[in-house]
Chains A and B, each alone.
Chain A
Amino acid sequence: MIRYTLKRLLSLILSLAVASLVIFFVIEVAPGDPASFMLGLNAQPDTVAALRAELGLDQSQFGRYLSWVTGMMHGDFGTSYTYRTPVAGMISDRLWVSLPLALYALILSTLIAFPAGIYAAARRGKTGDMAVMGATQLGVAVPNFWFAMMLVVIFAINLRWFNAGGFAGWDKGLLAGLHSLTLPAISLALPQAAILARVMRSALLDILGEDFMRTARAKGLSRRQALWRHGLRNAMIPVLTIIGLQFSFLLAGAIIIEQVFYLPGLGRLVFQAISARDLIVVESVVMLLVLAVITVNFLVDLAYALVDPRLRSRT
């Protein structure tokens, strides 16, 4: 297990290094000089030069890349070109909205998908199965931001159970915070729950045909007992893969959903930064999202190895 973990860790570090290179140099080719952009058209050349020096833009590209990466390792993401405040602070403020939102959605999606998938698999071919499958087919086709708008119309405007947008803030208490994230989390979770339920169902159906399931039944376990004791654990591998993949979709999807609910998360930050050409903020947010995706995939790989010991001996 230790060797497996180390090998995965090495590949994680390599991926992060290459991803950071890609992000940095892609942003570098962006036309326009941030310093001239900040100072406007009538800026004096020496003012621009001074600002370039202050922002570190006069260093070589590779030098700036190195200081960007080493800075990030120390939690220093540089200084925003437009707000002149540390990017790390701006990001961590927003992260307290985006990350709980993605996690909330992930939990909801799992809570909906597991029972639905298990139910459908247990009733394969019957009406219950068809109903669940029909619902998931629809769930996959619904754009989550549109679903979000519909939720706002029903639950915020008509029923007034929730606010149509905005974030109460965690300082108002956990419940108030969760309350303002509930509609966004539901709209994020719906399409993912539909996908996850389908994966859960088909993974379970594959398992039900296995020899060891027949053995379990032959030992006298009921269909239900066999499903719970032997089926679920074995079905977890494809399900875990999808959950891992979904986290990145949820985090990226949160960027769009935040726009619907006017939530002060990473999405708002990055769109403001794009329009203000605050490239260092864009760079850092993108790097953070990619870091999250790569780390989650790494954790999923480790979880596989825990669920299925056979995988540890392979690469």
Chain B
Amino acid sequence: MSRNLIIGTALSSLVLLAALVSFVWTPFDHAAMNIPAKLQTPNGTHWLGTDHFGRDIFSMVMVGARTSIAVALVAVGIGMSIGIPLGLTAAARSGSWLDELIMRGNDLVFAFPSLVIAILITAIFGAGAVNAIIAIGIFNIPVFARITRGAALSLWQREFILAARVSGKGAARISAEHILPNVANLLIVQGTIQFSLGILAEAGLSYVGLGAQPPTPSWGRMLADAQTMVSLAPHLALIPGSAIILTVLGLNLMGDGLRDWLDPKLRVGRT
């Protein structure tokens, strides 16, 4: 295992652990205000200090990890569960009108950056974590469709697929039984990368008020709250910012490490 994979997995696990532990324990109630103790810098009682309402920042960061992970994870899930079947279908019917339709549809979705999708959804249904998930998820669909199709196309030329066809298997069965397992590694790596992009996107959307709404804590909103006080109490911005950076860095390192660690033969098929 490479150094990247070890550091990346350690960082990601740490964040995941913080999120899971926050369900049963946080140092303080993350929503409890304590005005006399406001704007404290990190100290023995409040390990990462307090915000302008005297809320414990360490507890907020822990619960915020939950929001970030949940949004990014479900968004990757949406992208995979719709994008992968689309990509497999397009590759199986390569060159047909169906392939063309799927790929042009992909191009179209690509023209809507996730922030723009989020703006559209918010204009209709209002802001919220669920809408952030949908926006990031929709943007993930063409990513997975393209990468699946690209890798699957080269596999369709291989002899073991020909053997499967000769033995009478249909395109759907071949895709599920032979193509999918062979592109799985690639998809796992891409999944890690999209997961980290999802964390960044969620933070951005929450920052501009299109993501999770109060009282749900989120790293992006903690930064938005910190903005007016950043000269007074820089730790308000430094801590949630570092949480985002460490998480994204961890996931990216893990993705890089996984790519090198998993079957190197797949690199040939990557588009």
Query: What is the interface of chain A, defined by CB distance below 8 A to chain B?
Result: 11, 14-15, 18-19, 22-23, 26-27, 29-31, 137-138, 140-143, 145-146, 149-150, 152-153, 157, 248-249, 251-253, 255-256, 259-260, 267, 270-271, 273-274, 277, 279, 282, 285-286, 289-290, 293-294, 297
Extra contacts besides A27-B124, A142-B241 (13): CB < 8 Å: A11-B104, A15-B107, A137-B252, A138-B245, A143-B245, A143-B248, A150-B237, A249-B113, A255-B208, A260-B227, A271-B208, A282-B120, A290-B116
Residues on A with C-beta less than 8 A from B248 are 140-141, 143
Assess whether B223 is in contact with A290, with CB atoms less than 8 Å apart: no
CB nearest neighbor in A for B234: A153
The reply on B249 being an interface residue by CB < 8 A is: yes
Residues on B with C-beta less than 8 A from A150 are 237, 241
Assess whether A138 is in contact with B113, with CB atoms less than 8 Å apart: no
Residues on B with C-beta less than 8 A from A285 are 119
Least CB distance from B117 to A in Å reads 9
Which 8 pairs show the lowest CB-CB distances between chains A and B?
A252-B113, A141-B248, A146-B241, A141-B249, A30-B124, A252-B115, A293-B111, A282-B123
Least CB distance from B151 to A in Å reads 18
| Complex: A282 Cα to B230 Cα, angstroms | 31
Assess whether B116 is in contact with A252, with CB atoms less than 8 Å apart: yes
Assess whether A149 is in contact with B253, with CB atoms less than 8 Å apart: no
Residues on A with C-beta less than 8 A from B124 are 26-27, 29-31
The reply on B61 being an interface residue by CB < 8 A is: no
Assess whether A142 is in contact with B111, with CB atoms less than 8 Å apart: no
- Find A30's partner among B108, B110, B123 (CB 8 Å cutoff): B123
CB nearest neighbor in A for B242: A146
CB nearest neighbor in B for A277: B123
Assess whether B223 is in contact with A146, with CB atoms less than 8 Å apart: yes
Assess whether A15 is in contact with B108, with CB atoms less than 8 Å apart: yes
| Complex: A256 Cα to B119 Cα, angstroms | 11
Assess whether A27 is in contact with B115, with CB atoms less than 8 Å apart: no
Supposing A138-B245, A138-B249, A255-B208 touch, asked if A149 and B223 sit within 8 A by C-beta, the answer is: yes
| Complex: A286 Cα to B113 Cα, angstroms | 10
Q: Which of B221-271 contact A (CB under 8 A)?
A: 223, 226-227, 230-231, 234, 237, 240-241, 244-246, 248-249, 252-253
Residues on A with C-beta less than 8 A from B252 are 137, 140-141
| 14 pairs, A vs B, C-beta closer than 8 Å | A11-B104, A18-B108, A26-B124, A29-B124, A31-B124, A143-B220, A143-B245, A146-B241, A255-B119, A256-B208, A259-B208, A271-B209, A286-B112, A290-B116
Assess whether A23 is in contact with B204, with CB atoms less than 8 Å apart: no
The reply on B57 being an interface residue by CB < 8 A is: no
| Complex: A140 Cα to B245 Cα, angstroms | 9
| Complex: A143 Cα to B204 Cα, angstroms | 8
Assess whether A142 is in contact with B245, with CB atoms less than 8 Å apart: yes
| Complex: A251 Cα to B227 Cα, angstroms | 22
CB nearest neighbor in A for B250: A141
The reply on B122 being an interface residue by CB < 8 A is: yes
Least CB distance from A103 to B in Å reads 17
CB nearest neighbor in A for B115: A252
Residues on A with C-beta less than 8 A from B123 are 27, 30, 273-274, 277, 279, 282
- Find A286's partner among B104, B116, B196, B208 (CB 8 Å cutoff): B116
| Complex: A256 Cα to B116 Cα, angstroms | 11
- Find B223's partner among A29, A145, A271, A297 (CB 8 Å cutoff): A145
Assess whether B237 is in contact with A146, with CB atoms less than 8 Å apart: yes
Residues on B with C-beta less than 8 A from A286 are 112, 116, 119-120
Supposing A141-B249, A141-B252, A249-B113 touch, asked if A146 and B244 sit within 8 A by C-beta, the answer is: yes
Least CB distance from A280 to B in Å reads 11
Assess whether A152 is in contact with B208, with CB atoms less than 8 Å apart: no
CB nearest neighbor in B for A23: B120
Assess whether A149 is in contact with B230, with CB atoms less than 8 Å apart: yes
Supposing A19-B108, A138-B245 touch, asked if A149 and B116 sit within 8 A by C-beta, the answer is: no
Assess whether A270 is in contact with B119, with CB atoms less than 8 Å apart: yes
Least CB distance from B137 to A in Å reads 16
**Most chain B CB inside 10 Å of its own CB: which residue of A29, A149, A289:** A149
Residues on B with C-beta less than 8 A from A251 are 113
| Complex: A152 Cα to B241 Cα, angstroms | 15
The reply on B207 being an interface residue by CB < 8 A is: yes
